[in-house]
Structure 1
């Protein structure tokens, strides 16, 4: 049985309009969570260490970073996370393609 390459799988899946639409809706939260993880790792911190710095539990950091989390983080939580590693949060708006 041949293994399917992820990029081939993704390309095929995104050829379906419904899948592509859902993917685009979820893309910002996945990108945010990817950036949060990268900040933490660049700072050389584990989830446990960051949790201690923020006076919270590791499970809260894990949930914040999880792409499968059902909850949406509050902006203040994201700001606290960023500040703990010496960053500020900048929000940017870009025109949508459908304008």
Structure 2
């Protein structure tokens, strides 16, 4: 069986040709960029979701839902998540 594989950037380029996809992607990009930064910081420190939850005083399921993008976090949640990793959140309007 011969499978054709495409890279994620190739798939992104194809999908980005659809104007509705592009609009929605651009709308959600800041959210997923921040999630990726927090996941990367957690992985760099070799901290599990359970450990991060313990540091934040929340449940592991909240961390899991946040990292999967299925939870719309409050600003306080984001500040606590960053602080649990020794980081801080910075925002800018552009």
TM-score tier after normalising by the smaller chain length: 0.7 to 0.9
Q: Of the candidates 25, 46, 50, which is equivalent to residue 52 of structure 2?
A: 50
Unmatched 5+ residue regions in structure 2?
A: none
Q: Of the candidates 1, 9, 18, which is equivalent to residue 7 of structure 1?
A: 9
What TM-score, normalized by structure 1, do the two folds share? Answer: 0.83
What TM-score, normalized by structure 2, do the two folds share? Answer: 0.87
> By percentage of residues, which structure has more helix?
2
Supply the RMSD in Å over aligned alpha carbons. Answer: 1.3
After TM superposition, the structure 1 = structure 2 runs for residues 31-50 of structure 1, keeping only pairs within 5 Å, are 31-50=33-52
Partner of 2:68: 66
Cα distance in 1, alignment partners of residues 87 and 10 from structure 2: 36
For the residue of structure 1 that corresponds to 2:89, the secondary structure is: coil
Unmatched 5+ residue regions in structure 1?
A: 95-99
Cα distance in 1, alignment partners of residues 55 and 11 from structure 2: 40
After TM superposition, the structure 1 = structure 2 runs for residues 22-33 of structure 1, keeping only pairs within 5 Å, are 22-33=24-35
Shift of 1:3: 2.1
Runs of 4+ in 1 over 3 A off after TM superposition: none
